[in-house]
Each structure stands twice: as C-alpha cells, then as structure tokens.
Structure 1
Amino acid sequence: MSLPHVDAPTNRRLPVRTLGALSASVIAFPLAAGTAEAATLPLPKPSRTLPSALDVAPPYQPGTLCLTENQVGPVAFAKLLDATYGKHVWGVLRKCDQEHGEGRALDWMLNAAKSSDLAMGNAITRWLAAPDAQGRQGAMARRVGINYIIWNRQIWKAWAPERGWQAYTGSSPHTDHIHLSFTWDGAVKRTSWWTGTAVTNYLTGPPGTEMPTSNDPRDYVKVTLRRGSRGKPVEVLQRSIGGIGVDGSFGPATESRVLGYQKEKGLTQNGIVDSRVWNAIIGAPSTGGTTGSGSTTPTTSALAKYAGTVLRKGSRGEAVTAMQKAVGGLVADGSFGPATEARVKAYQKSKGLPQNGVVDATVWAALMGTSTAATGSTGSSLAKYSKVVLRLWSRGEAVKAMQKAVGGIAVDGSFGPATEARVKAWQRSKGLAADGVVDAKDWKVLAGGSSGVAASTPATSKPSTSTPATTSTELTAHKGSTLRSGSAGAAVKALQRALGGLSADGRYGPATQARVVSFQRAAGLTATGVVDRATWDAVERSVHPLLAHWNTVLKRGSHGAAVVALQRALGITADGSFGPATETAVKAAQRAAHLAQTGVVATVTWKAVEGRAR
C-alpha cells in the first residue's frame, strides 16, 4: 500500500526557502486544493544562538509511566507558539496516556478545515521537519527535542526522517490539533533550542534514569527495545542473541531474530525486547518462586500489610517489590513498568481474575492464598434484588450484594469496568450470555438456581453488544457518560472526533446534537440527541467495525465468522477459511503497517487491518 506524501500536487506551489539554524523568519507554504492561497507566517525564534552541531536523534521513546505533572519543555514550546501565532487552546498531561501520561506530549489546537489554521499547521510542522542549510533532515525538530509529529492525517518521525510524511490512520485524524511528542531531552529543555548546546547523549527517561553505556546485558534489563530502536542497547542485544549483524539498528532482520529467540526460550513471540528477554539472555530465572535477584517469595504475612495498596503501571516502592517477588518471573526492582504489567495480567488470567494489570485487594488476596468472595450472600438475601437490573456505572447495595456473590472482586458498591469484566467471566462460567448486565436470570443463578443452559453451551437469549472485557478503545473511558445539549469536556470531544464532520471543541451545541440525531437515525436508534450507552456502543462500532474480533487470534487453518470479517476488511474472497491467500494478504497488511510479518492476526493486526479498511 503506497502512502501519500504530504506535498501532493496543489493548486499553486510557492517557493520555500531552506531552513537553516538561523534562517528566514517567514515561510510560505501551499494549502490543500480548494482553499485560499498560502499565508506567509512568522516562525518561532530561539532565545539562544544555535550551535552548528545538531542534537542527537534518539529512537522512538514510547510513554510507559503514569506521571502527574507537565514537563517543562512542552509547556515552554506551547507558550512559544502562542507568542508567535496568537493564543490557542493547548494541553499536555493526560492520566496514564502514553507520552501524554508522562507530561511530554503537546496538543496545540487548530482546525484544518479553516484555511488560516491549515496554513499555520503546515508552516509549523514542515518547519520542524524540514532539512537545514546543511541538508540535515528534521533539524529544528531535533533542536527542540521532538520525537514525532501528527497533523492532518499525517505523521513524521524524527528517528526515521528518510520516510518523510506518511499517512496516519489512527483513530483520531488530528485535524483539530497538532500532536507533538517530545523526547525526554526536549521534555526537560535540555536541547540546543533552549540551551545553545547540542545534546550528544540522549536521556531515556526522567533525569536520573539515563541509559547505560556498558556492553553487559545485565545493565539493560529495564530497557525495552522494538523495531525502530537504535543505539548501544541494540548493539548489546544483537551481540547477545547472535545470528545477526551488529549495527545498532533494530530493523526487520533484528526483529525476526528476536522472534526466533523468543520462540527458543518459550517466551511470548511479539518481537519486543523487555525484561523477560534480557533475563533469558543473562540467565536470570523467568518463572518459579524466586525473583531475578534470588530472593524468595514473600510469605502471606509479609504481603498482608500491602493488601490495601493499589498498584498499576508507574507505581514504585516496597509494595511493588513485594508484589513482583510474589508473582515471580520478574526482576524485583520496585518499578511497575510494562514487563511487570504483562506479568500481572498473566497472573490474573491464571487465577480467573479480570486482566486489567492493576493489583488491587482481589489480586493481593490471590497472592496470599485467600479469597475475597463473601460467604454471607445467601439465596434469600439476594431474592429482593431479582427485579433490579445492574450494568456498568450502577451503584448501591444491590451492586455490593452482587459483588459479594460473584466473588473475585472488591466489594465497593460501584459497578465499574473491573466489576463488569468479573460479571462477564462469571456469566460465561455459568453458561449465561456474557453481556455484563445482571438481570433476573443472573440473580436466579446467583441465588442458587439454574440457568437452564448447560455450562458448556453459550446462551443466546441475551446477545452481547458490549465491548469485550479485555478490549478498550479511545471511547471506552467515556461510555459511562451521558451527554446532551449543554454538556462539555473530554467526553464530548471524543464523541465529536468519532462522529466526524464536527469541530472537536468539547462543547455539545446545536451542531453536535444534529449530528448525533442523524447518527442515531442511521443506526436504528431512537433519535433523542442524547448520547447514552447504546449510542456510545453504536458509535464505537462505527469507528471500529472489527472491534468484536480484536481479542480473536487467527492463523492459517482458522475458520468461521471472524475469518470472514477479516477477509472482507482485506478486500479478498470472504470464504471463512484462512488459507495461503489470506495469510499472504495478512502479511501484506502487516508489512504496510510496519508490523512483524507473521501472518498471525492478533489485536495489533486487527487494528491495522481496520485502519486500512476505513
């Protein structure tokens, strides 16, 4: 699949001067066909004299932490843009959301449907990505400390500038804002734009967590590598696993070798080098009752003091260390990173718990060999709730009684995503429709009655329309919100982006209401203009038509409805049989999305195919 270049033919191309370290103060840039001619706009000016040397370009630096403050670099750059172009709405920190979750991604709001905003967005982004007078690609992006840019359905990557601007097919087209992801050096204003001195050794995390420079793989256990990574850690990896050239660049050949190494060691074959792969390389234990440091599994009494502590990605401290020792298969370093989260999810799966990667009272109870299921919920005490229908975001005593009865979940009277996941798992175990809604049929079984369905036979009386328990989209966090005229905030903005044809300003006005009514009619819903759970679900399915299959793994030899859906999305004969032709088409889609070409369809590939089909 060819990717359209950003500089596609336009009505008129105006000359653009090459941008040097201290180049011209204005830039002329062509707009898309059908809009006004390009505006001549000022460019941001540095407060320091820029050196001739250019800052090093680090590999992709994904966000993995849950931090609580904006980093100074994105804030300073947002203020610089405001000073240059006039005040705009902008935002940085979003809770546990990739680089936004680390306070190092900036969303600077513009509307690409407006010719003036389009010209401004083009001017800013192309100035950052352009070569300087010496022909060095992305010179200004490297000086500012930008890792990648997304704007108006296109993405540019500082670690691979030779690819130029590529089509971006993520859930948000980024037509209402420029997304600037900062490197850690840019995040803390350590780059030449701010200091006048070029960075030569880049940060890999918050200051104080710099990348090691040794040749000992034991020093890299906390470093995660994947395709696109570069530098010393990749060299150490390549030397350690052998069978590959040592060039410090994690490309397709290295990824293929990593996949082979993971298979040899019985590890998850995802091509990503995390602590499990490093531990295999250095010979540290990956399973069993001891940790990578050799300490034994904590006793129940040692864990009890942490039972009230909730841990998730980004947590640190003694409680994390104790948990890591208890679940096993991890280096007990007290840092809850991606490898720990993956191990927690695997542990939760083994215990039949919701696989959310969060260590709460239920997980601590399992680690201590106890149970959170209450014994006081008898059939008679549940009977009074038989006519009560519970679903996501319900609250009260009925929710508490249900939580006690199903067990394996905190009893807090709040029907949140974790409770919904547990209810679905319980329903599946009882042969009920796993829709996460507790109604009369479910209360009857909870009270000790029969479901009337063999446990191995899925019920069909309540077809599920909800998102699978282990699946989430950009809309999932907002589906508990009811929106109507006058509503405002992040949920409204997410809705507007999903519906399309609207300015995503976060305000539920007449235009948004009219768009909702139109959508509801088209979806066969009651056209109220009020966005309830049914409307959220329908919007989510329209944005993600393959969502129901994201948790289904397909490969050669698979059959059925999921294969038909896959084949239709790929544009090939939909016969429901995953044969060589389907495998070839899958590999082509994976190649186009820069994924490992395994021919196996799991969540990431489903999403890539879905984005291609839209």
Structure 2
Amino acid sequence: MRYPLLAPLFAKPVRLVAVLAMTIALSSGLAVATAPASSAAVRSLPTPAGLPVAIEPMATYVEQISCQPGYRTGTLALARLLVTTYPNTSYAGAYNCGMDGNRSEHYDGRAIDWMDSVRNPVQAAQAAAVIKFLLATDRYGNQFANARRMGIMYIIWNNKMWGSWNGTWSDYNGCSKTPSTALDSACHRNHMHISLSWNGAKGRTSFWSKRAFAATDYGPCRTAEFNWSANYVSFNSQRCPSYPKVTAPAGSSTVMKSLVSFAGASIYRGMGGKPVMAVQQALRVPVTGRYDDTTVAAVLRFKQAHGMVPTSPIGYGTWRMLLKTFKPKV
C-alpha cells in the first residue's frame, strides 16, 4: 500500500507567525502532543450527542488523483467545528491543483489547514487539546475514536505526522532538525494539516451521520493512460488498479512533458492550477493559471480544429487530442 509522499519543504506558502517561542514535543509512539501547563483551561472540541456504539475502522489511505479543489461536506464541517470552538483561529485548504506539492488531498476537497501556531502558547494548547480529542480512547475502549468517527487518514503538526495506517507519530520531512521560523509553514508549526477519507470528506461517518460507515470508498480511479483521474462521481467499493506513472516519450518538448504530468484532470471554467497552466502553454495563451475566458476560447478553437464538439470542459477526450498533437514526431 502506498502512503502519502512527504511534501518538499516550502511546498506551502510561508505565513507570518507570532514571535513568542514555544515548542511541543510529539512522541514517536501513540502518545499525543504534550500540552503547555495552561492546557487545562483550554476547552475541548464538543462530542456530538447520539453517537452509536458501533464505530468505523481506521481509515484506509486513499491517494488523491482527481482535481476538485474546494471543501466536501464533512471537510467543511470539520473546519467550521475547529474555528467555532477556537475563534482565534482560521482555516484554509481549497488550493489549486498542483500548487501545493505533487499530491495532496487539498486538490480533491478532502483536507484542511487549521491555522494554529505552536509559537503561540494559547494556540499550542488548543492544538494539544484537539489531538487529544481526536486520538483518545473512548468509553467503549475504541482507540483513536474520534479520528475514526471523522474518517481521518493523517495529521501533520509541529514536525510530526500521525497516520491511520499504523496509529503512530513519525518525523515529518526531517523537520525536527530544522527549527528555523522560516520553515514553520513547511513543517506545519503554524498550522495543522488534516486529511480525510472519502467517507469522512463526504460526511458519511458516524461523527456527522450518527451511523457507523465501515465500507471504504476508494473514490475515482485513474486509467493507465493518464496520471490524473476524472472527478469523483459516486461511491466506489473497489480498490483502484495500480498503474505505473505515465512519462513523456523520449524527445518530448517541455510542453509535452507538462501535458503528460497533468493529463486526465477534469478542468472547468473558473478552475486554476498547474493542469490549467499546462493547457495554456500548449495553446500559447497567457499562462495565468486560471481557466479564464481567453483560455476557454483557445480550447474551443482547438476542439473545433480537431473535429471535436466545441465545449469548454476539458476531459479525457481533450487530453488525448492534446497528447496526440504534441507527441514528438518519429
């Protein structure tokens, strides 16, 4: 099973943080973050009434392969719960595809960045309280109960990553050896990243629905010809086939290599990110990173010139024609 690749440092934009210095040490085992002395005064996230005795298993890791930036129902509910409980914080996460590393559940609406800094004593205590809430054993003896009920796949916070695949914390990207404030964003010291399963993101899990939803949703599957899949359509109970990464043929241009990297991603008017940039470079329009009117017009001309129905969405058919057009001549 593949687990999330560690994002390169500086994959996320560096944000300003408070100048108060404080650290929280996360153990490499099952222990949660050690809270500051003031943590006793920090409120916990509320536990919903009416939770069933039945509970979900640990979430299966399902990699992001589609481009649907935004917030799914459960993702947004979690974000709002955090900022409602802790009004001195905010959330982000609707990042354009390809702009935050190679793979990220931000791109398909299954992840949030909860903006909470370890260098602020109050916010550090809040983060410790959240981790304790998510990973505590409940009264029925279920380990990591609320993380399971929310469908949490992994958490990255203050140099460490917790994964549902083994229930332990591990070092993230060597961040424990890079204490510089310049790396606070890359090392998740000024925000906590939380990625969800498709069940959690869709709000099916018991924390939100009051009904344990045990079946894994594997989401959309990519085909062997593309590196990205089309958008999520419906529940998928079958594990997706595993295909090698698609690479550009020998002698390919820079444009062709970029197209191959993002081919398969669904693109609609108003979307943005690197898949859009690849199309803009190919069609020789200003590379704005937004699927704007100029780019839409170029796509319509391209489709018409190649005998395709001139509609604005970019799907598998358009990608195939782009790859065929820019394939190196033998």
- Length-normalised TM-score, structure 1: 0.32
Aligned to 2:171: 167
Question: Quick one: which of 122, 129, 132 aligns to 1:126?
Answer: 132
Contact 1:59 1:159 in 2 (8 A): yes
| Residues 314-358 of structure 1, C-alpha deviations (whole Å, 9 max, x = no match) | xxxxxxxxxxxxxxxxxxxxxxxxxxxx33x333x3434446441
| Residues 95-129 of structure 1, C-alpha deviations (whole Å, 9 max, x = no match) | 11520000110111011111111110111022212
Q: How many residues align?
A: 219
**Taking structure 1 as reference, are residues 185 and 82 closer, same or farther at Cα in structure 2, changes over 3 Å only?**
same
In structure 1, distance between residues paired with 2:33 and 2:157: 15
| Residues 222-272 of structure 1, C-alpha deviations (whole Å, 9 max, x = no match) | x15xxxxxxxxxxxxxxxxxxxxxxxxxxxxxxxxxxxxxxxxxxxxxxxx
Contact 1:30 1:37 in 2 (8 A): no
Aligned-pair identity (%): 28
Contact 2:248 2:257 in 1 (8 A): no
Higher relative CO (Cα under 8 Å, sequence separation at least 6) belongs to 2
How far did 1:146 drift?
0.9
Aligned to 2:144: 138
Gaps of 5+ in 2: 1-23, 99-103, 176-182, 220-231, 264-280, 290-330
How far did 1:39 drift?
3.6
Aligned to 1:31: 35
**Taking structure 1 as reference, are residues 351 and 78 closer, same or farther at Cα in structure 2, changes over 3 Å only?**
closer
**Taking structure 1 as reference, are residues 29 and 57 closer, same or farther at Cα in structure 2, changes over 3 Å only?**
closer
**Taking structure 1 as reference, are residues 53 and 207 closer, same or farther at Cα in structure 2, changes over 3 Å only?**
farther
**Taking structure 1 as reference, are residues 60 and 29 closer, same or farther at Cα in structure 2, changes over 3 Å only?**
closer
Confirm whether residue 117 of structure 1 aligns to residue 116 of structure 2.
no
Confirm whether residue 204 of structure 1 aligns to residue 208 of structure 2.
no
| Residues 529-554 of structure 1, C-alpha deviations (whole Å, 9 max, x = no match) | xxxxxxxxxxxxxxxxxxxxxxxxxx
| Residues 395-444 of structure 1, C-alpha deviations (whole Å, 9 max, x = no match) | xxxxxxxxxxxxxx747375899xxxxxxxxxxxxxxxxxxxxxxxxxxx
In structure 2, distance between residues paired with 1:122 and 1:38: 8
Contact 2:150 2:206 in 1 (8 A): yes
Confirm whether residue 104 of structure 1 aligns to residue 110 of structure 2.
yes
Confirm whether residue 412 of structure 1 aligns to residue 284 of structure 2.
yes
Q: Secondary structure at the match of 1:86?
A: coil
Letter paired with 1:119: A
Aligned to 2:41: 40
- Length-normalised TM-score, structure 2: 0.58
How far did 1:151 drift?
0.8
- Map residues 286-305 of structure 1 onto 2, 5 A cutoff: none
Gaps of 5+ in 1: 9-17, 19-27, 213-219, 225-273, 277-341, 364-408, 418-614
Q: Secondary structure at the match of 1:166?
A: strand
Q: Secondary structure at the match of 2:35?
A: coil
Confirm whether residue 80 of structure 1 aligns to residue 100 of structure 2.
no
How far did 1:88 drift?
2.2
Q: Quick check: which has more Rg, 1 or 2?
A: 1
- Map residues 514-529 of structure 1 onto 2, 5 A cutoff: none
**Taking structure 1 as reference, are residues 413 and 99 closer, same or farther at Cα in structure 2, changes over 3 Å only?**
closer
Higher fraction of helix: 1
Aligned to 1:177: 191
Contact 1:29 1:39 in 2 (8 A): no
Contact 1:128 1:141 in 2 (8 A): yes
In structure 1, distance between residues paired with 2:260 and 2:150: 38
How far did 1:195 drift?
1.0
**Taking structure 1 as reference, are residues 196 and 61 closer, same or farther at Cα in structure 2, changes over 3 Å only?**
same
Q: Secondary structure at the match of 2:237?
A: coil
